[in-house]
Amino acid sequence: MLYFDYSIINLRGDVVMNCRKKDYNSDYRVNILNDGTIISIEITCCSRHVGEIRFKDGENKKCPYCGTLHSLIIQHNHFHIRPAKPVFNKVDADCSYDRDSLEEKAL
């Protein structure tokens, strides 16, 4: 289990206020116990609270607004929180074909 020395953190202001001031799209808040044990991570995406994930390797949460998948990867002495935005296929989005011509080709 990873432990976090929270005595070195300088807590100033509110996380949400800092997020809005700097126009961040996503933000993460790590929740810890008094002994420094990390228990969970709260996720804000699209300037809205989208949920919370437990501090376990492979946990993830998908934003219902933009589809970004926020994943937690724990390694031997550190962890990563990675947002992965969905990739839309531009070819399919720009394709304007006639449904009848597809049926003819299929036959």
pLDDT, position 15? 44
Tens digits of pLDDT across the chain (107 residues): 555 554 444 444 444 444 455 667 789 999 999 999 999 999 999 989 999 999 999 999 999 999 999 999 999 889 999 999 888 765 544 454 455 545 555 54
Cα separations in angstroms, 1 against 39, 46, 54, 77:
10, 31, 13, 9
In this prediction, residue 18 carries a pLDDT of 47
What pLDDT does 89 receive?
A: 64
Q: Are 20 and 14 in contact (CB under 8 A)?
A: no
* Residue 29 one-letter amino acid: R
Question: Does residue 14 contact residue 32 with C-beta atoms inside 8 Å?
Answer: no
Integer Cα distance of 39 and 15 in angstroms: 18
